[in-house]
Structure 1
Amino acid sequence: MLTVNVPDSLHTCSQINNEDISFVHYREASPAGRNLISFESCAISFILSGQKEFFRESASTLVQAGEGIIIPQGNAIISERRLQATEYTSLVIFFPLKIAKDFIWSSPVKLSGTTGCSSALKANNGFLPFKVTSYLSLYIKNIITLIEQKAELTYPVMLHKLQELFLVLAEMHPDTFFDLWNVAQDASEIHLRRVVESNISKGFTLTELAFLTNRSLATFKRDFEKAYGTSPGKYLLKRKMEIASHALHSGKSPAETAMETGYENISNFTAAFKKHTGYTPKEYQSINFQTEPLAI
């Protein structure tokens, strides 16, 4: 058997891509037997018709129409069957592990345990099957419609849709969802992330954040880039702008929003917000009051 690398091998399927996020409508009239699948990205798969038998390490599960499965990066053996349907179909969303980890540390859903992390998988076996609720059915329908219409979605919009899905699944399975992404996560990284995420809006300098993590500035920058995959400055600005967009969308004034995001004066906040979004805070409010806040 040949090893199939996904999502690269699915380039002929109908899909929407932007950077490292993909929404793929997978259809197969004659599914083969067992396949060796190498997931180069993490995936969330919704079975629309037929069934998928999934094997990873020492565990397996059977996922049928009306169900889904969260699959972290790694290898698996998969057998797909169309059963009585004319074809096996699924909606698969691919994304890097970093996005899931970033969601964990900024999530409004409370983490279980004292650290919110686990050194090994507990209630799952390297995957998490789940039932499709009525809310998720509408979510799937919306994504498939966008794919069929060949919609051109920006990366912030695709990220927002993915984070929406994370939030729903985290509320459905709060313990297992968070455990799933935290295999072998270093305790020092846990501490660094906790300090960073708890102080996003406090206006601390990088030197101050480094001090809170008991690191020199150079070590803090090195460990931060290892944990987040980007520089502290870029990440902190992005998170502040996300917080600001939600605050402005909720009706808070630019002055209130500036204070909430750690800016000492509104002019500095306005300049940063316009540079990042292309709009002043007031312009952003007038454009977005009738829609969801942007995932910046």
Structure 2
Amino acid sequence: MEEKIVVILNEMSEYLSIAQMKKLQETMLRVFSEKSAEAKNISNKEYLNMFIAAKTIEGCSMRTIKYYSTTIERLLDSLNMSIRKVTTDDMRNYLTEYQKINNCSKVTVDNVRRNISSFFSWLEEENYILKSPMKRIHKIKTNQQVKDIISDEEIEKLRDKCKCVRDLAMIDLLYSTGIRVGELVNLNIADIDFESRECVVFGKGGKERKVYFDAKAKLHLQEYITNRIDTNEALFVTLDKPFSRLKISGVEIRIRKLGKKANLSKIHPHKFRRTMATRAIDKGMPIEQVQKILGHSQIDTTMQYAMVNQINVKESHRKLMA
């Protein structure tokens, strides 16, 4: 903390008189010492509670909040010291042991690293610690695998296995919009604009955006809504009474069952999102527009979803070498 004070004083020296500099120094020492004294009386658990409160206010989803809480609680349980005394070496050792004990992948460990890094960065920003011990622990390099997408043939197989129009509407909406499963279950009938073939969804952090669906999704959605006998405002509900709004787990289970019936491997809601992104880029949509549709704040995230179709790569290479 003293180092920061010295830096600030040095930068302000050419703008302030000696009397003003002295007053600034006294004020800074008093404020920072008070902050330091307060921090000494705060437990690790209290730091975590304040961090979770901050993330909740920022608009993080309950799923993200739970992940933050679980990850950091696990860290705190392993510590025999105040969080303010943790060093970079302590964190390197923790992550190494975490991977050994849990026998988990590099991707999992990097997710843990990212969550813990957010926690310490917040502590630094709030002046509870001088410097985050995670600053010198960089992203863990992982092998980038080209993940499969759902082919046109597989989509038709899934449609053939649908025994109700609700499932058809659900599959076509996921396939044409690329929305998250959490966004799907939060949709209401009133959110759907059939004339423009679009709907408004609320993504991560409560961000609102428009997504667009195709003619096939429109027809199946209209048929599904017309044949419903309930009064629930939700777009997708259970097939049996009391016709409750579908939950994320309900959609995931249903999609996986349809995939198994069609003898397709690893069919899940998120695969529709990756498929849409890949198809959009493959057909020439600019990556910035794909980013907008998917609701990503960083374009790097969009690039992870959108894997270029290998068949087109092969054809382009043939043309190049011809």
* TM-score higher than 0.5: no
Q: TM-score, normalised by structure 2?
A: 0.26
More strand per residue? 1
Q: TM-score, normalised by structure 1?
A: 0.27
| Bigger RCO of structures 1 and 2 (CA < 8 A, at least 6 apart) | 1
Rg larger in structure: 2
